[in-house]
Structure 1
Amino acid sequence: MKKNVLTIAFAASALIFSTGLLAQDKPLSFGFKAGTNLSNYRLGGDMKGFKSKMSFGGSVGGFVKYDVSPNFALQSGIDVYYNTSKLEAKADQASDKFKSFGVEIPLYGIVQGELGSGKAFLGAGPYVGYGISAKSDGVNLFKKNGGTGKPTMNRFDYGVGGIIGYDFDKNWQINASYKFGLADLHKAKGGSMKNHGASIGIAYRF
């Protein structure tokens, strides 16, 4: 399932790039974006004895947007993220700071329209992600630990997300996005750990 979702997202992103380059009569725009985010994890099973509290992080990335029509577009790209949260034990309220770093590739179908002097848009679609580092109490959870000889967390993530924003002119944009992870990142049996987050940011389009 993970490989299929990842393959579809990469293929769709490549299709947007190639189609836009071949069809010069259709508007194709590129851009850079940066933002701040709030993230945590939805915990289940054996992990219900813990609470995941949201903390601030950030992201930077690039995107490509292909206007299929004046009111509909496809947008993809790549985001490099840094997320933080606190994992707190409900019993004694002892907590560890959780830090993760990785990349995500979203694919949005976007509905857009003129509003005032600019353009408003709203979109939704899937995303896939790959974790580079996830640390708690200084331990990289993607690497084998001494107790089980296995990683604590999965690197691959996938889910669905949404985006809303406003283009002030041909260049500047503000946006807000939300993601709802569907992949269980916790490798141990009996527990579950899924991504959850929201962000707000700015973008510059060419």
Structure 2
Amino acid sequence: MKKNTLTFIFAVGALIFFSQLSAQENPLSVGFKAGTGLSNYRLSGDMKSFTSKMSIGGSVGGFVKYDLSSNFALQSGIDLYYSTSKLDSKVDKSSNKLKSLGVEIPLYGIVQGKLGSGKAFIGAGPYVGYGISMKSNGVNLFKNSNEAGKLVMNRFDYGLGGIAGYDFDKNWQINASYQLGIADLLKGKGGSMKNHGISVGIAYKF
């Protein structure tokens, strides 16, 4: 009897869930996006003798969004980013500009709802990233260097992100995002560098 009751509850829940999906005119949407933002690094350990100043960068990419219901969705995609940050020494007052190029794949759980003539949304979730290039004064920091004092960085990154925005209609969207890196990008012991950034952008959905 208990087993039959659980089966009935599961069946009803599944029916409600799939009826919500079928009620969507087009639950799957894809789009392209572009944005600009500011980024720097959170420093700890031996790296506290430096200051990481935010500098401007940008990104382009594509995304896929699946509406689980009228109020909930999952969104992922891939972004190609270019970021810069100034790393200033507190000791000798020297300054280095770090230039990074890479890709990131986020996954957001999104809450959305009608607002005016469009739709507002907010979401959060993890991301993973891979560095294609990272240079300082022409030196590739992803490769081992025999020069004393040169940073050597990890290519792989991961962390948490958030996104918020507004869909004006079925096609155009504005959005803002925040990124908090968890992975230590600095190879070696004694110090730590972790990503940190904010961005704003526009998107076009199909």
Given that 1:102 and 1:133 are in contact with CA atoms closer than 8 Å, whether structure 2 keeps it comes out as: yes
TM-score (norm 1): 0.86
Is 1:61 paired with 2:61? yes
2:169 matched residue in structure 1: 169
1:36 matched residue in structure 2: 36
| AA aligned opposite 1:40 | N
Given that 2:173 and 2:204 are in contact with CA atoms closer than 8 Å, whether structure 1 keeps it comes out as: yes
Quote the sequence identity (%). 77
| AA aligned opposite 2:96 | D
Alignment of 1:32-181 (within 5 A): 32-147=32-147, 152-181=152-181
Shift of 1:91: 2.0
Aligned residue pairs, count: 183
Sort the Cα spacing of 1:184 and 1:33 in 2 relative to 1 into closer, same or farther, 3 A.
same
SS of the counterpart of 2:68? strand
SS of the counterpart of 2:188? coil
Shift of 1:90: 1.0
Shift of 1:94: 1.4
Greater gyration radius: 2
**d(CA) in 2 for partners of 1:26, 1:172:** 16
**d(CA) in 2 for partners of 1:191, 1:151:** 11
Sort the Cα spacing of 1:144 and 1:151 in 2 relative to 1 into closer, same or farther, 3 A.
farther
Deviations 1:143-170 (A, max 9, x none): 121248x981100000000000000000
2:27 matched residue in structure 1: 27
Sort the Cα spacing of 1:159 and 1:137 in 2 relative to 1 into closer, same or farther, 3 A.
same
CA RMSD of aligned residues (A): 1.7
Shift of 1:26: 5.5
Given that 1:143 and 1:151 are in contact with CA atoms closer than 8 Å, whether structure 2 keeps it comes out as: no
**d(CA) in 2 for partners of 1:126, 1:153:** 21
Structure 2 spans left out of the alignment, 5+ residues: 1-21
**d(CA) in 2 for partners of 1:117, 1:93:** 53
SS of the counterpart of 2:189? coil
2:7 matched residue in structure 1: none
**d(CA) in 2 for partners of 1:35, 1:26:** 26
**d(CA) in 2 for partners of 1:65, 1:184:** 30
| AA aligned opposite 1:196 | H
Given that 2:153 and 2:185 are in contact with CA atoms closer than 8 Å, whether structure 1 keeps it comes out as: yes
Deviations 1:125-148 (A, max 9, x none): 000000001111110000121248
**d(CA) in 2 for partners of 1:153, 1:125:** 25
**d(CA) in 2 for partners of 1:44, 1:151:** 14
